[in-house]
Chain A
Amino acid sequence: MTREHELAHAFAGREAWAYEAAYREHGGVLYAAAWRLLRDDAEAQDCVHDVLLRMWRRGDAYRPERGALRAFLAVSVRNEALARLRSAKTHARIAPQLAIGEAESDVAAAVTDSEALRGAMTRLTQPQRTAIELAYFEHLTHAQIAERLGEPVGTVKSRISGALRRLREVFLPEGVHDAG
């Protein structure tokens, strides 16, 4: 059993050392997932802590057979950050930071990320790219994207889904984290 598998199984078994180890090993990317959305240091840290503590208390959130622990945690934290972002209270508090990003109306220009990420985006069709940029970088729901683009919701969902599957193909040669 690899270290990753051991950690994943211990995390699923609600062993305290596994939660602490997962936090040490994956905390950086979890914080990045939250901070990228919330743009507020304290709010992002609270977001990561809340997700880990909620999982610790419930104890049944993760099962190793459902996929890699690191990816599961990252998506869980990102979803919590999205929920906070969409709540009126949090939005009002961090609106000044968000306004900076929103002012950059060209989504592609707002993607101040790595060359690898920008390169991956060029491998998508333009409709796919637009859809996933609105979903991932502008954090819109598919209903909001459909309204923004004037397209049926079903079309938007298919484009987002196709874009993410295409990105997976692009990332695979680099070695996506498939280990549990």
Chain B
Amino acid sequence: MPVDHVGEDAELYALGTLDDFERVRVARHARECGDCARRIADAEATVLRLIELGEQPPHALRPLVLPDRAPAPARGNGRWIAAVAAAFLIGLLPWGIARVQQRGASGGDALAAAAMLAGHFSHAPFVALAARAPKAKAIYPLEGGWLYIIAAPGSAALNVAVTPPGERRTIATLPPSAETRTVFVRYPGRIDSVALLDGATPIAIARL
């Protein structure tokens, strides 16, 4: 039974004023504490009412297509996956195309490319928590198992830490480089968010 109830953080959670680490803590607690979950639900209902009573957008929303409901690619056209992966990488990295091409199919990038080809993946941008945070993205499979971090050049080594259920854990390091930096990590556990740390200080975070 959790002992540290979220208290007034329930309302702050619903309003989105907590930072990412606080949000993860509140959400995890609410999964195990009915009282706090109800207080958060009350706060969310109030925020919903604020939205409903507020200014409304001028356009209609386009339809939603769930991936598993989308038409499957034609048989015998397996190269579409590689094309999507390549386009995805290049599209993500207007500042790193040369580096991706140089690396070709070697080292960690080859592992990442192979992992992407083998399954469905998504990506999440890192939100800067400090001005010195480099532009970066996390690429991860929907079924879990690995993590691929791409970051803009920088002179400082950055630790990569994940926040699964449990404590934050450093799992890799992005070395300093004058070129785009990447790191591929096999990680079997569940990941809620990934942080880039300068030493022990989080400077960017991506929620997966």
Contact = CB atoms under 8 A, between A and B. Distances in A.
Interface string B39-74: 011111111111111111111011010111100000
Question: Which interface class (under 10, 10 to 19, 20 to 34, 35 or more) fits A?
Answer: 35 or more
A65 B37 contact: yes
Given A20-B64, A20-B66, A167-B50, A157 B12 contact: yes
Contact of B51 (A52, A74, A158, A162): A74
B15 A117 contact: no
B73 to A, nearest CB: 18
Interface stretch (B101-109, B121-129, B174-182): B121-129
A57 B67 contact: yes
Contacts of A70: 48
B28 interface: no
Interface in B95-137: 120, 122, 125, 127-128, 135
A23 B64 contact: yes
Q: Interface residues of A: mostly helix, strand, loop or mixed?
A: helix
B11 A165 contact: yes
Question: Which interface class (under 10, 10 to 19, 20 to 34, 35 or more) fits B?
Answer: 35 or more
Given A161-B8, A167-B46, A28 B66 contact: no
Contact of A67 (B40, B69, B122, B142): B40
Given A45-B61, A78-B47, A66 B15 contact: no
Contacts of B54: 32, 36, 113-114, 117
Contact of B41 (A30, A36, A68, A158): A68
Contacts of A105: none
B8 A157 contact: yes
B17 A117 contact: no
B53 A65 contact: no
B47 A36 contact: no
A142 interface: yes
Given A36-B54, A65-B37, 13 more contacts: A20-B64, A28-B61, A36-B57, A57-B122, A66-B31, A75-B48, A113-B54, A158-B8, A161-B10, A164-B46, A165-B46, A174-B49, A176-B46
Interface of A: 16, 19-20, 23, 27-33, 35-36, 41, 44-45, 48-49, 52-54, 56-58, 63, 65-68, 70-72, 74-75, 78-79, 82-83, 86-89, 112-114, 116-117, 120, 132, 135-136, 139-143, 145, 157-158, 160-162, 164-165, 167-168, 171, 174, 176-178
24 contacts: A27-B64, A35-B57, A36-B54, A56-B67, A66-B30, A66-B40, A67-B37, A67-B42, A67-B45, A71-B48, A74-B48, A79-B23, A86-B127, A88-B128, A136-B47, A160-B8, A160-B12, A164-B15, A165-B11, A167-B46, A168-B42, A171-B46, A176-B45, A176-B46
